[in-house]
Chain A
Amino acid sequence: MKKQKQHIYLLSPLFTYFTIFFFAPLFILFIYSFWRTTSTGLVPTFTMHNYLYIFSKKLYPIIILKSVRIGFITAVICVLLSYPVAYSLTFKYRRMQDFVLYLILISLFSSYLVRVYAWKTILGHNGLINQLLKYIGIIDEPLSFLLYSPTAVVITLVFIFIPFTILPIFSSLQNISVDYIEAARDLGANTAKTFYKITLPLSMPGVITGFIFSFVLAAGDYVTPQMVGGTEGLMIGRIVQDQFGLTYNWPFGSALAYFTIFLLVVLINLFIWITRMLKLRR
């Protein structure tokens, strides 16, 4: 009993910090989502009006779904790109582990905004890619869909969030004892079967963590869409921001935010359930 109490003392500073600066504001936001706004200001009440209003116009559900779609595509690409890297670093190129992980971390050292700006110059009308394609002679006119499009948003978000998928997948692969792989080979499994039956299921916790990280972060991102997304690449984060900054409709902004959070939680659980049904997870 005494030992458990000591643990609570150790946890309390962070817990206090989170309570004051995270849980409390989040709770206040939740309360707001049931209030109303009038010309004179916020009116404390209890109404579902804000939630219902989301579905009154096509715009909001479409943008929410679009954000989820971009988040999903980003997460899938991140996982598909990360897995081979983490796998080969673990089983084939052990010596390069530290070096490559260092390179991945370096990309996190530079500012988020700087990296988005960098992509803006790479993808732009007179950017690196268009210049290069023109120089080689593949195109005559610069490709316009490169910048200010959902594609540009996905490309940029994949670059920004890929460390968040590589690292958890890498660490879960590191925990797989070579004994398991050798045992599977010894019992008659070829390389492909060993991967599908042993390595992949045992690394699934890392895949799921990485997927959720990149999915949630990408779906909720609002800087990248603004800078490289254009009108087509508009995402929900921007709409929520506008409710607070532009129209001063805090209750509706809160409702939009909470609805999006709710949707993401449902989708994440659905994803976990599917991987379990496929028997890919322990």
Chain B
Amino acid sequence: MMLETAKALIIRNICKNFGIVCAVKNMTLEVQDGEFISLLGPSGCGKTTLLRIIAGFETPDSGEVIIDGINILDLPPNKRPMNMVFQRYALFPHMTVFENVAFSQFLLKRPKSEINQKVKRMLELVQLEGFESRKPDQLSGGQCQRIALARALINEPSVLLLDEPLGALDLKIRKQMQIELKKIQEKLGITFIYVTHDQEEALVMSDQIVLMQAGESIQVDTPKRIYNHPNSKFSATFIGESNLFEGAVAAVHSDHIEVLVGGVAVLVGKTGGVARGDKVSLAIRLERVKRADRGQKKDFENLLTGTVEDVVFFGFMVKYYVRVNDELLIIAEEEIAKDEQEEDTPIGGKMTVGFSIKDVNLFVERVHSDTL
């Protein structure tokens, strides 16, 4: 019996340069069968280029893309076992919804009754039954993208590629489509490779996130892990919001490290490879920093007191900008209890905020020369 590897797609050492610009730098990635994987990063990070290499619209300078043990890079796009959903839908404007969805089936010369059946099933899947005879210009953006999804899924591809498919939709429909896309993916069990620059979208939908920057993958992890345990300053700032401090290691103790940030000592959980004098960055999630001056003082190892510079109200929560000293501004995020009294700490007043030692992520910037 063959060993069940369950790898839908393997990308190995892919490099792509456009002139002197390096779009994808030695990218390696393994995608599990039936997985929803997001390529996430700022614009220009190479995520779309990587997707287009997989689809066959770009030829990489080197590397391999392997499906079922076969390198598919020599195959033209029409021979590859995958389909793509485009950001701008790319529905054929001269064809009806039916003709669009059935396009690949007509090419395969399937019998008419089978095509009708399949198109019907696909339109049910995307909840647009009865739209067969409409033209694309008679559809809303959300409807267009559903039809594009149906058109790409009708051929039962082993991998579906999605290039920022919700980028052109407005916020409300986008949120709704996120949930729907995820449901469809789970129902069909097809591997989705989803390109987005929207970190929230990636967190909501993905099984795995590939965080990319400047053509390289920075971190590949589940949404939970990538959020709670960012492996770099870039991860910590691109996904979610973090307080970011730069400082130097003042002392290494047996169970914790002391980092001097703007003249204030911050205690950090023990991590290996850090020595006294190293330049480091600290990242602390905003929601992990809480007020610690109203009796509900928890057992925070770190307590900072400063002047409230700003208070920003977000409906379900409030952000406090606390200035500890000239170099140190910390932001705390507090949920608002249902029947909370009017704001009792006005701007300019004193406030103490705290955070736990285990919520501080430390990244070494530069190793101190003495230790080398």
User: Are B93 and A188 in contact, CB atoms less than 8 angstroms apart?
Assistant: no
| Closest Cβ–Cβ distance, residue B303 to chain A (whole Å) | 55
Chain B residues, Cβ within 8 Å of A186: 55-56, 77-78, 83-84, 152
Interface contact A188-B90, CB-CB below 8 Å = no
Instruction: List the B residue with the shortest CB-CB distance to A279.
Output: B94
A94 sits at the interface (CB 8 A): no
Is residue A49 within 8 Å, beta carbon to beta carbon, of the partner chain?
A: no
Mark interface residues in B95-119 (1 if CB within 8 Å of A CB, else 0).
0000000011001100000000000
Q: Is A202 an interface residue (CB 8 A)?
A: yes
A190 to B76, CA, bound (A): 8
Chain B residues positioned under 8 Å from A189 (CB to CB): 78, 103, 107
- Flag whether A177 is at the interface (Cβ < 8 A): yes
Q: Give the CA-CA distance A129 to B151 in the complex, in Å.
A: 56
Is residue A282 within 8 Å, beta carbon to beta carbon, of the partner chain?
A: yes
Let me know if A98 is at the binding interface, CB within 8 A: no
Top-4 shortest CB links A-B? A179-B90, A282-B94, A183-B90, A187-B104
Name A's B-contacting residues (CB within 8 A).
177, 179-180, 182-190, 193, 197-198, 201-202, 281-282
**Which residues of chain B are near A184, meaning CB under 8 Å?**
92, 103
Residues of chain B contacted by A281 (CB below 8 angstroms):
94
Partner of A179, one of B76, B86, B103: B86
Determine the distance from Cα of A185 to Cα of B92 in the docked complex, in whole angstroms. Answer: 12
B88 within 8 A of A: yes
Instruction: Compute how far the CA of A187 lies from the CA of B107 in the bound complex, rounded to whole angstroms.
Output: 9
- Could you tell me if A282 and B107 are in contact, using CB atoms closer than 8 angstroms? no
**B residues contacting the other copy or chain, number (CB 8 A):** 21
With contacts A187-B107, A188-B107, A193-B107 taken as known, whether A182 is within 8 angstroms of B77 at the C-beta atoms is yes
Q: Is the CB of B104 within 8 A of A180?
A: no
Q: Is the CB of B57 within 8 A of A182?
A: yes
Q: Check B13 for interface membership: any CB of A closer than 8 A.
A: no
**Bound form: Cα–Cα A100–B86 in Å:** 32
Contact across chains for B77 and A177 when beta carbons are under 8 A apart: no
- CB-defined A-B contacts under 8 Å, sample of 12: A179-B88, A180-B93, A183-B84, A187-B78, A187-B83, A187-B103, A187-B107, A187-B152, A189-B107, A197-B103, A202-B93, A282-B94
Q: Does B155 contact A (CB under 8 A)?
A: yes
Interface residues of B in 153-171 (CB under 8 A from A): 155
Chain B residues closer than 8 Å to A201, beta-carbon distance:
94
Also in contact, A182 and B93, with CB within 8 A (given A188-B104, A189-B107, A190-B78): no
* Beta-carbon contact of B76 and A188 below 8 Å: no
Of the residues A182, A197, A198, A202, contact of B86 by C-beta under 8 Å: A182
A186 and B76 alpha carbons, distance in the complex (Å) = 9
Given known contacts A180-B92, A182-B77, A201-B94, is B155 in contact with A187 (CB within 8 Å)? yes
Please, which residues of chain A bring their CB within 8 A of the CB of B88? Answer: 177, 179
Tell me the bound Cα distance from A177 to B89 in angstroms: 11
CB distance from B201 to the nearest CB of A (A): 21
Q: Who on chain A is nearest to B91 by CB?
A: A183
Which A residues are CB-close (under 8 A) to B93? 180, 202, 282
Contact of B155 with A180 in the complex, beta carbons under 8 Å: no
Apart from A183-B92, A190-B78: 12 A-B pairs, beta carbons within 8 A:
A179-B86, A182-B86, A183-B84, A184-B92, A185-B76, A186-B55, A187-B78, A187-B104, A187-B107, A188-B104, A193-B107, A282-B93
- Most chain B C-beta atoms within 10 Å of own C-beta, residue among A185, A187, A197, A201: A187
- Cα–Cα distance between A179 and B103 once the two chains are bound (Å): 15
Contact of B151 among A187, A202, A282 (CB under 8 A): A187
- Looking across the interface, which residue of chain A has its beta carbon closest to that of B94? A282
CB distance from B56 to the nearest CB of A (A): 8
Q: B152: which A residues are within 8 A, CB to CB?
A: 186-187
Question: Shortest distance in angstroms between A261's beta carbon and chain B's nearest beta carbon?
Answer: 31
Docked pose: A183 CA to B155 CA in angstroms:
13
> Separation in Å of the B105 CB from the closest CB of chain A?
9
Beta-carbon nearest neighbor of A183 in chain B: B90
Nearest-CB residue, chain A, relative to B108 = A188
CB distance from A198 to the nearest CB of B (A): 6
Nearest CB of A to B161, in Å: 8
Query: Measured between alpha carbons, how far is A104 from B204 in the docked complex, in Å?
Result: 55
What's the minimum C-beta distance from B58 to chain A, rounded to whole angstroms?
11
Write out the residue numbers on chain A whose beta carbons fall within 8 Å of the beta carbon of B76. Answer: 185, 190
Residues of A within 8 Å of B90, CB to CB, are 177, 179-180, 182-183
**Chain A residues within 8 Å of B84, by CB:** 182-183, 186
Task: Give the chain A neighbours of B56 by CB distance below 8 A.
Answer: 185-186
Which chain B residues lie closer than 8 Å to A177 at the CB level?
88, 90
Bound complex: CA A180 to CA B155 (Å) = 18
Contacts of A197 in B (CB 8 A): 103
When chains A and B are docked, how far (Å) is the Cα of A201 from the Cα of B107?
Answer: 17
A179–B168 Cα distance when bound, in Å, is: 15
Residues of B within 8 A of A188 (CB): 78, 104, 107-108, 155
With both chains docked as a complex, state the minimum distance between the C-beta of A207 and any C-beta of chain B, in angstroms. 14
Nearest CB on B from A177, distance (A): 7
User: Would you list which residues of chain B between 258 and 296 have a CB under 8 Å from chain A?
Assistant: none
Tell me which residues across on chain B come within 8 A of A182, comparing CB atoms.
55, 57, 77, 84, 86, 90
A190 to B56, CA, bound (A): 13
Q: A179-B88, A193-B107 are in contact. Are A185 and B94 (CB under 8 A)?
A: no
Residues of A within 8 A of B94 (CB): 201-202, 281-282
Q: What residues of chain B lie closer than 8 Å to A187, measured between beta carbons?
A: 78, 83, 103-104, 107, 151-152, 155
Tell me the complex Cα distance, A281–B93, Å.
Answer: 11
